Amino acid sequence: MGSPTIQELIARALTAYADLAEVAGSVEEEWSYVDDLRTAWVARLDAVAGARADEAADPAVVDAVEALSTEVAAISDPHRAIDWLSTFPQVALLALGEST
């Protein structure tokens, strides 16, 4: 199986990101912040997916996004998850060679 496209890779990343937002969303007083943060970063990642849709992802970038997704899947503390809602897209964009 060949390398995924950038669009496919970002779609995978966004699945992990949605799970992370679910964990973060359990902090009731931060619910709207979590939602706004998620919306802002999903828009940024979607923009990259749209601009580089059919480009094949470098295997090292695929590995980076997989390692990142594995890392956030281990987070159960909702406060840490809120911090990662900001950190996750920064790391993903960096791996993709994009600015935050």
Positions in the binding site for another protein (CB under 8 A): 30, 32-33, 36-37, 40-41, 44, 58, 60-61, 63-64, 67-68, 70-71, 74-75, 77, 80, 82-84, 86-87, 89-91, 94-95, 97, 99-100
Alpha-carbon gap, residue 35 to 89, rounded angstroms: 15
Q: How far is the CB of 100 from another protein (least distance, A)?
A: 5
Question: Which residue from 62, 38, 52 is spatially nearest to 98, judged by alpha carbons?
Answer: 52
In this structure, which amino acid lies at residue 43? A
Q: Phi and psi dihedrals of 99, rounded to 5? A: -85, 160
Q: How far is the CB of 19 from another protein (least distance, A)?
A: 14
